[in-house]
Amino acid sequence: MAFLKFGLSAPMMEGVRAMGYTDPTPIQLRAIPLILEGKDVIGSAQTGTGKTAAFALPILSKLGQHDARPRVLILEPTRELAAQVETAIRDFARFTNLSVAVFFGGVGYGKQNDALKTGVDIIVATPGRLLDHIEQGNCQLNDIQHLVLDEADRMLDMGFLPDVRRILERCPRSRQTLLFSATVPPQIETLIKWAMHNPETVEIGARRSPAETVKHVIYPVADAQKTDLLLALLDRVNYDSVIIFCRTKHGADRAAQLLKRNNHAVAVLHSNRTQREREQALQGFRDGRFEVLVATDIAARGLDIADVSHVINYDVPQHPEDYIHRIGRTGRAEATGDAFTLMVAEDCKHVAAIERFISQKIARVKLENFEYRYTALFEEEKPGQPKGFDRRVTGARVHGGYHFGFAKKRKR
């Protein structure tokens, strides 16, 4: 078993086996030895690359036995990510007696305080709620030995960096610090200089490229036909599970209503929903009760939802890096997936920015037998066809056999 050569602890190896992992992913291959050596590491791998195991397995290996004081702190930008990482850690740690707790806002303090009183080894938290616990005197970080700043660029976007700094000031200086970020903007560089000690960088693939396993195309359409095209796509695409991204919470609610009226089993995920509603939406989507999840970027960032066959960007993302994150929901851990982006005239600027960011032209395609109304977008793309519409995708089958069939969708 290829994991053997790392020298992970026996209970971790049992955990790996129970998870069914046989070969380490590229980031695991490169990061696990460095983390075991005690180095600070900057990882620029995207979500879906196995980065949680890349940091969790070596850290948990080093922790050994339960000690009832927080020795590991993992900061996450959103509640969903925190919950997801906590679950992964529980899975990896199931053959140890280590205890893990997750702290995030939007829920009561009772259970979180109880966990702190009982004594935990590993804390996974969003910055705001952790600071509340610290300020209320419920939580001390004096014994932290391993600190993980996950999705650091998103913490920056969400305005959490000042909170992160306040938290870091309460951790011992002699600690191991690991930072994961898909992009490294200047503010993160500054944080790295301030918080890390001689870090090694582990960069997996080009930082800005979408996963190679994702086939992604653009559907230009007149604004007035966006909803019709969405419904037609869902009708014709052979999907198992699909995430539809919308720009705003309101837009997500509207899209969900539309899909419900058209008999799709839909869940919605955005930050105006209660924690319980969000958990139910995710759980229902994971276990297949809902085959469509409508989400906003913040809610969906980094979520590990297995078997997403398709991503549809109902709205073009405003930030190019969100494009990578969105389409990263499909094509996870080497499974192939398809990502479609609906583009109306006013999106041209954002699409151009995305194409610059990923250094790729994204193919424009038309849905066969859909009654398109005229849009100037089609004109713009015409001269020198290859640049715009992809001839390969105007036929009944698309992209040499990737499953864009016109068969009715498969039921699970």
CB of 24 to ligand AMP, least distance (A): 5
Nearer to ligand AMP, 51 or 326 (CB): 51
Dihedral, 202, 203, 205, 206 alpha carbons, nearest 10: 180
**What are the residues binding ligand AMP (CB under 6 A)?**
21, 23-25, 28, 47-53, 304, 306, 332-333
Which residue shows structure tokens 């490294």?
184
Rounded to the nearest 5 degrees, what angle is found at the Cα of 125, between the Cα atoms of 120 and 131? 95
Using CA atoms, how far apart are residues 326 and 293, in angstroms rounded to an integer? Answer: 13
CB of 25 to ligand AMP, least distance (A): 5
Nearer to ligand AMP, 31 or 358 (CB): 31
Residue 369 contacts by C-beta under 8 Å, 6 or more apart in sequence?
Answer: none
Confirm if 53 and 35 have CB atoms less than 8 A apart: no
Confirm if 120 and 90 have CB atoms less than 8 A apart: no
CB of 22 to ligand AMP, least distance (A): 7
CB of 45 to ligand AMP, least distance (A): 7
CB of 342 to ligand AMP, least distance (A): 27
Q: Where are the alpha helices (DSSP H) in 64-184?
A: 79-92, 110-118, 127-135, 152-157, 161-169
CB of 50 to ligand AMP, least distance (A): 3
Nearer to ligand AMP, 116 or 295 (CB): 295
CB of 401 to ligand AMP, least distance (A): 25
Straight-line distance from the first to the last Cα atom of the chain, in angstroms, rounded to the nearest whole number: 33
Confirm if 271 and 248 have CB atoms less than 8 A apart: no
Using CA atoms, how far apart are residues 46 and 30, in angstroms rounded to an integer? Answer: 14
Nearer to ligand AMP, 302 or 320 (CB): 302
CB of 171 to ligand AMP, least distance (A): 23
Confirm if 72 and 121 have CB atoms less than 8 A apart: yes
Nearer to ligand AMP, 171 or 324 (CB): 324
Single out the residue of 40, 58, 48 nearest to residue 3, CA to CA: 58
CB of 279 to ligand AMP, least distance (A): 18
CB of 241 to ligand AMP, least distance (A): 14
Using CA atoms, how far apart are residues 121 and 1, in angstroms rounded to an integer? Answer: 29
Residue 203, phi then psi, degrees to nearest 5: -110, 125
Nearer to ligand AMP, 52 or 241 (CB): 52
Nearer to ligand AMP, 147 or 230 (CB): 147
Nearer to ligand AMP, 230 or 295 (CB): 295
Helix axes 10-19, 79-92, angle to 10 degrees: 110
Residue 337, phi then psi, degrees to nearest 5: -155, 165
Confirm if 328 and 210 have CB atoms less than 8 A apart: yes
Q: Does residue 101 sit in helix, strand or coil?
A: strand
Q: Is 195 exposed, middle or buried (0-12, 13-18, 19+ CB in 10 A)?
A: buried
Nearer to ligand AMP, 11 or 24 (CB): 24
Nearer to ligand AMP, 3 or 340 (CB): 3
Nearer to ligand AMP, 80 or 315 (CB): 80
CB of 205 to ligand AMP, least distance (A): 13
Q: Does residue 102 sit in helix, strand or coil?
A: strand
Single out the residue of 402, 368, 391, 389 nearest to residue 233, CA to CA: 368
Q: Which amino acid is at 132?
A: D
